[in-house]
Amino acid sequence: MASAGLSVRLEQVHPIPLAAAFDVAPGELLALVGPSGSGKTTILRAIAGLVHPARGEVACGSEEWLNTARGVRVTPQARHVGMVFQHYALFPHLTAVGNVEAALLDAPPAARRARARELLAMVHLGGLEDRVPRQLSGGQQQRVALARALAREPKVLLLDEPFSAVDQVTRRRLQRELAVLRQRLAVPIVLVTHDLEEAGYLADRMVVLSRGETLQDGPPFEVMAKPRTVQVARLVDFPNLLRGEVIAHEPGRDRTLLKWLDYTLEAPLAGSVTPGSRVAWGILPAHCILHRRDRPSRGERENPVSGVIGEYLPFGENAAVTLWIDGRQDAELRLSVPTHVAHRNGLAEGVAIRVSLLTEGIHFMPDAPERLTGGGPAR
């Protein structure tokens, strides 16, 4: 089957605001992430042709599915999209194989049953073909829905929170199966999820949405490590969202000097920020390195800051540590320390430690200052 990329441009004010623009290449898996009500599902439904936005264009390769300016509006039937609904929407009166066959009505009747069985085998449901949906577990129902979506040889595969209605163990297994299966699919895949971890695990690229607007588009770990704005940082739950003041630029050393509390930190050169202006910045816990308490070493000259542990929570392999900089409860820094390292260093609430903030980990974000509340000291 010829593969072609999907291009989506949607705009509307009512009933749900939309200002979405993104492209998905053949074989690429794009995750649409955002809080509830951010328009993720509406965008998916607009791609499928189930809702019609006020203005917009949706095209798949050379086929135009929607072009409001030119009055083009292709029916859902003619778009050939495969969609897995959040609650699967299986046909309750049909067996598993009947559900898949229902999407094969274009094929010759003799070939349908065989093809449906083949698809069910592909999603590991061999032997359960004759069960009706209520006799299947949530994970099995999801697989039937996936097989049905693939039966049409879709030009685009749409997944609407497909893992949200199953338990954690099943979710992990289904996610792994999708990761394997998608290597065989040469069509654009759009996954709607509110689970950032899932997006990071499955997607090649992710689009962050808020109120129907696409705010940032990029590889998941890049978006999560370098949110473009404070709003995106909040949406991807960026852990250390702070504010400081740019003092000076040192282009020769490729550095910008940042004043934060009583510290002067060295950050990567951010020439666009005027010296003297307040700025939002952030650093991932992984870029905050704990100094060994027994034996100070080299590298600890890199942006050292000290504080008292305000909160210490060992979560399995890693411990979540909240540091009160210089003992101030309004100046929090969150770090993640391997539990064995935390033990060796005797970390506990009330213990004073020092950490280095890695220069390369410091990330600036433009934002209107009044919108920045919480998440860090606003001094």
Partner 1 sequence: MDWSALRLSLALAVITAVVMLPVAVWVGRALAWGRFRGKAAVEALVALPLVLPPTVLGYYLLVAFAPSSPLGQFYQSLVGTTLAFSFEGLVVASLIANVPFAIQPVQRGFEAIPSEVREAAWLSGMSSWRALWNIELPLAWPALLTALVLTFAHTLGEFGVVLMVGGNIPDETRTVAIAIYDRVQAFDDRAAGIMAATLLALSFASISVVYWVDRAARRRRG
Residue 13 contacts partner 1 per CB under 8 A: no
Q: How far is the CB of 103 from partner 1 (least distance, A)?
A: 4
Token pair for residue 198?
């899932």
* Closer residue to partner 1 in complex, CB, 105/352: 105
In what order do the strands lie in the sheet containing 288-290? 288-290, 352-357, 304-315, 318-325, 332-338
Q: Which amino acid is at 301?
A: R
User: 281 near 268, Cβ under 8 Å?
Assistant: no
Q: How many residues bind partner 1 (CB under 8 A)?
A: 25
* Closer residue to partner 1 in complex, CB, 99/256: 99
44, 48, 209, 242: residue in contact with partner 1 (rule CB under 8 A): 48
User: 181 near 205, Cβ under 8 Å?
Assistant: no
User: 219 near 345, Cβ under 8 Å?
Assistant: no
* Closer residue to partner 1 in complex, CB, 24/280: 24
Residue 103 contacts partner 1 per CB under 8 A: yes
Q: How far is the CB of 110 from partner 1 (least distance, A)?
A: 18
- From the list 57, 3, 6, the residue with the least C-alpha distance to 32 is 6
Q: How far is the CB of 7 from partner 1 (least distance, A)?
A: 20
9, 117, 152, 363: residue in contact with partner 1 (rule CB under 8 A): 152
16, 21, 102, 247: residue in contact with partner 1 (rule CB under 8 A): 102
Q: Environment class of residue 256 by beta-carbon count within 10 Å: exposed (0-12), middle (13-18) or buried (19+)?
A: buried
Residue 91 contacts partner 1 per CB under 8 A: yes
Interatomic CA distance for residues 118 and 113, integer angstroms:
9
* Closer residue to partner 1 in complex, CB, 107/351: 107
Place of tokens 């504010």: 243
Which positions from 65 through 84 interact with partner 1, judged by CB under 8 A? Answer: 75-77, 80-83
Residue 89 contacts partner 1 per CB under 8 A: yes
Residue 134 contacts partner 1 per CB under 8 A: yes
* Closer residue to partner 1 in complex, CB, 42/359: 42
* Closer residue to partner 1 in complex, CB, 91/263: 91
* Closer residue to partner 1 in complex, CB, 153/217: 153
Residue 14 contacts partner 1 per CB under 8 A: no
Segment contacting partner 1 (CB under 8 A): 91-99, 172-180, 267-275, 279-287? 91-99
4, 43, 66, 90: residue in contact with partner 1 (rule CB under 8 A): 90
**Rounded to the nearest 10 degrees, how much is the dihedral formed by the CA atoms of 183, 189, 194, 199?**
30
Residue 148 contacts partner 1 per CB under 8 A: yes
Q: How far is the CB of 225 from partner 1 (least distance, A)?
A: 36
* Closer residue to partner 1 in complex, CB, 162/239: 162
Q: How far is the CB of 106 from partner 1 (least distance, A)?
A: 6
* Closer residue to partner 1 in complex, CB, 84/305: 84
Residue 47 contacts partner 1 per CB under 8 A: no
Interatomic CA distance for residues 303 and 244, integer angstroms:
14
Contacts to partner 1 by CB under 8 A: 48, 50, 75-77, 80-83, 85, 87, 89-93, 102-103, 105-106, 134, 148-149, 151-152
